[in-house]
Amino acid sequence: MNLIENLCRACRELGGADLLLRENSVPFIRLGEVLRAMETPPLEPAWIEYLWARCGGTPETQDHDASYVTEDNVRFRVNLHRQLGLRGAVLRRIETRIPTMEDLGLPVELMQKWLQRPSGLILVTGATGTGKSTTMAACLDWLNQNFPLHIVTIEDPVEYLFTDGLSHFTQREVGSDTPSFAEGLRRALRQTPDVIMLGEIRDALSATTALQAAETGHLVLASLHSSSATETVERLSRIFPADERDDASALLAAQLVGIFTQMLVRGTQKKLCLVAEHFENQAATRNWIRQGGGTELVDFLNRGSNPENRSMTVNLVAAVKEGRLAEADALSAAPNADEFRRLMRGINSGFQSKGASR
């Protein structure tokens, strides 16, 4: 126990993001973009066994997500796994202070407009490790400070802990409080929620329930692993069986408020800079969503003339022009290098983007 606590404390004091542990191996810590071995002996199996027991792992466990809270109340998100029969764990430190939308560099006016909708589905998307959970926490905290709402979260695991302000929170963890995202979401509809935050849409059942919750008058905030608005629409369409896709796409077209896709890119200030694609569903775009996305949606976002609808490429170019990103780093992150180069040559004052380093 003391060793695990000391490793977690060292991770926090050194400013590490991740702690990588495996029995019979030296621990590693991720500092920024660098992974470094810690100056400590290899971990004995008993120490990993203690961590597994604390996080709900059993001798039969192969993969398991959980959380770990240290004695000094620092929270870590934990993934238990095996490698060639050896038990391992990756612990990601969770910041206890919930950052504001301004801190993160989100388009505040747009996000606040979406969050004030009485119902509908807001999707926050991106690859693993791009800060989706932090973005959703900042959104919920803004609601908490401004509106008297019942906010229900379903997470795996619970990351940020909310203190009731104007709003009242019910936070449920998959595994310990509810068996699955879909079941937790279904049960949440009986808990008089105003806003529901779903940690991740993983399957057709959770997607269907999220859309039905939006249709019945709830605002649903959910995350999805996808790298653009178009990919999000296409993935949600494919998640359903073929005979259900038309009805599901029609429901998505009617209930979708917007899609916010984010990535973290190394900025000119040596910090990670949030760059995002944001798409607001409007009357003119609903037909494209019913059809599963397509090139029309891509062209619409790349025009960059509407501040509510900007592609990732447009905002990467804007970040370069604003001095927040080096051109080479932005080019490496761009989903379409040729489109990025074209927009760099033809950039105008219509391409503006707000952002901040973190």
Domains and CATH numbers, the chain: 2-94 (3.30.450.90), 101-345 (3.40.50.300)
pLDDT at position 304 over 70: no
pLDDT at position 111 over 90: yes
Give the pTM: 0.83
pLDDT tens-place string over residues 262-274: 999 999 987 889 9
The percentage of residues in the chain with a pLDDT greater than 90, rounded to a whole number, is 69
pLDDT class for 96, splitting at 50, 70, 90? confident
pLDDT tens-place string over residues 126-161: 998 899 999 999 999 999 999 999 999 999 888 888
- Please report the pLDDT score of residue 350 as a whole number: 42
pLDDT class for 85, splitting at 50, 70, 90? confident
Using CB atoms within 10 A of its CB, is residue 67 exposed (0-12), middle (13-18) or buried (19+)? buried
